[in-house]
Structure 1
Amino acid sequence: MNCQICGAHLPAGAMFCGGCGSSTTATPLTRKRADPRPSDTTIIQPLAPRSTVISVPLWPDGGSHSDGPASAAQPVTGLPAEASAPSGGAHASAPATVEPTRYTLQFSTGETVSVRGTGLIGRRPLPQPSERFDHLIQITDLGMSVSKSHLEFGQHDGEFWVNDRFSGNGTVVRRPPAPALRCEPGRRYLVARGARVEIGDQFFVVL
């Protein structure tokens, strides 16, 4: 007879395994403990009511650098007529490419990351199959207050924005003396340099 837990040989009539100490009647199923944290994120506080939305439009081509759910939640607004009009004629010029501005993100966990373009931040950021990002920033959070893919960031006309990816604890932008702004998931919020972005128990400062 062999132990069903560790596989050690057991003498006849044994009640416990001499190798792992398990009962001879124990099985891997009975020894399996329930996960104390079955969800992705540990909720540390209830989400506050939605506040005034300060969102920015999508990119002039009607799309964005990512095609996930967060992009679909935001309609194209405030675009000049010439941006949406189809180009025609031999003299039509191609739109100028805007070079992304460089920003520095200083995290409460000690990391400092220089970024350009788009990115995902979280405990284990994972893009959707149709999404493409310039940066995937993984931060350590033993308390699991930060979701795996907590927020998305990018730029609009050189200005930095963040977009909460329906995280468990939400995203809050603080820039005193202005009141704290809790971001509505699925919308992009402009964040000026010097502002602090809180994600669960952690945060980062945009410089």
Structure 2
Amino acid sequence: MFYFLLFSFPQYRLRGCDITEEGCSAVTSALKSNPSHLRELDLSVNKLGDSGFENLGDLLKNPQCKLEILALCVFSFMFNCISITAEGCATLASAFNSNPSNLIELDLSGNKLENSGVTEISTLLTNSQCTIQILRLGFDEACQYVTGIVGKNPLLLRELNLSECELEDTRVNQIAALLQDKHCKLNTLM
């Protein structure tokens, strides 16, 4: 019955369900058995940990995986969730580089990615096969990302969410430089 329900719908939303690394392993194992129907996966506000992200990465590497939307948000007022680490970012970036052709939306809002995590995501987005159009980051990481892509081709990126950032003049100037960049295709900046 669980598998019938799991694969009958193209969306699988498990936001705030207190899923741990062990639970993430069970979910991704079930999804690996038939990943082609899943289009949206929301595992935001959970306790996935690095091994949970490894399991998720294994799922995303599967060529049959047709996932288009992945949400892994963390909300600052929620103390129980675990932010994605730099290692988790590296795992996800590696998975997306192995199978980049379907993902159009990536939501990492509220995660504290650190410099290496931002670098991993920035590198992913400069991959010529990357199809991500909507990127949601949080806090200062989004501004670091903006700084890293000015002068480079941000490819298909159409929406960039900076809504949780405390922007100062320097950051505003960086965003202005991005918007003036000939490669910039953003039509929504939040």
Taking structure 2 as the reference length, the TM-score comes to 0.19
Q: Which has the larger radius of gyration?
A: 1
More strand by percentage: 1
More helix by percentage: 2
